[in-house]
Amino acid sequence: MLIPNHVANYSIFKDGRRLIGLADVTLPNLQNLNDELKGSGIFGAIEMPVQAHFQSITVTLKWLTIDDDAVFATLQDGASLHAWSAVQQHDSQTNRITHAGWRFIMGTAPKTFNLGKLEVGTKGELESEYELINIRILHDDRVMLEVDKENAICRWNDGFQLVDNARRIRQLIGL
């Protein structure tokens, strides 16, 4: 059995260019778009998700201090952000350490650029925040999740295949 340990290391790319000087990255928190269901025969209220729809989603890059890459990352244009990580695992049967690759391929638009602070002997605490438009998550080159808000795509890997949760919705609305 492979037991995930931690992120051994990672790289971030913007439009194919590797970014240097990052402290950390906050990956998207996918939150369902919900609607309250209540009425006759329902004892209370239920927050029901609207299948294949998500609330506004952000990605945040935190920088060690101001530098060219931090400024480059804030251009007011759409951006392709790629987060590549190596996750260390322990194989409990062989007692060996292995690594798995996880990639987060994200289509984004810039939202904010917090210039942080200037203080002698400290990090600058700069932040770039992006609106997520689409994301594809791969585990060792196998697609695990794909969400594209503009193209009505919502696919999840159920362990055997990609399940297209938005297929029927696209058919019904003529997409």
Calculate the alpha carbon distances from 149 to 85, 109, 133 in Å.
24, 13, 6
Show the tokens assigned to 48.
């029901």
Q: Is 148 among the domain residues?
A: no
Q: What is the pLDDT of residue 16?
A: 84
Q: What is the pLDDT of residue 147?
A: 97
| CATH code at position 105 | 2.40.30
Q: Is 164 among the domain residues?
A: no
Q: What is the pLDDT of residue 15?
A: 86
Q: Is 168 among the domain residues?
A: no
| SS percent in the chain: helix, strand, coil, step 5 | 5, 60, 35
Q: Is 147 among the domain residues?
A: no
Q: Is 152 among the domain residues?
A: no
Q: What is the pLDDT of residue 48?
A: 95
Question: SS3 for 18-44, per residue?
Answer: EECCEEEEECCCCCEEEEEECCCCCCC
Q: Is 173 among the domain residues?
A: no
Number of domains present in the structure of the chain: 1
Show the tokens assigned to 31.
């939150």
- The per-residue pLDDT string of the chain (175 residues; one tens digit each, 9 = 90 and over) reads 999 999 999 999 988 888 877 878 999 999 999 999 999 999 999 999 999 999 999 999 998 888 888 888 777 888 899 999 999 999 999 999 999 999 999 999 999 999 888 889 888 888 999 999 999 999 999 999 999 999 999 999 988 888 999 999 999 999 9
Calculate the alpha carbon distances from 95 to 5, 48, 92, 100 in Å.
13, 44, 5, 16
Contact 78, 14 (CB under 8 A): no
Q: Is 146 among the domain residues?
A: no
Q: What is the pLDDT of residue 99?
A: 97
Calculate the alpha carbon distances from 121 to 21, 65, 117, 124, 128 in Å.
16, 11, 11, 10, 22
Q: Is 43 among the domain residues?
A: yes
d(CA 82, CA 17): 10
Q: What is the pLDDT of residue 96?
A: 97
- Domain extent at residue 106: 2-141
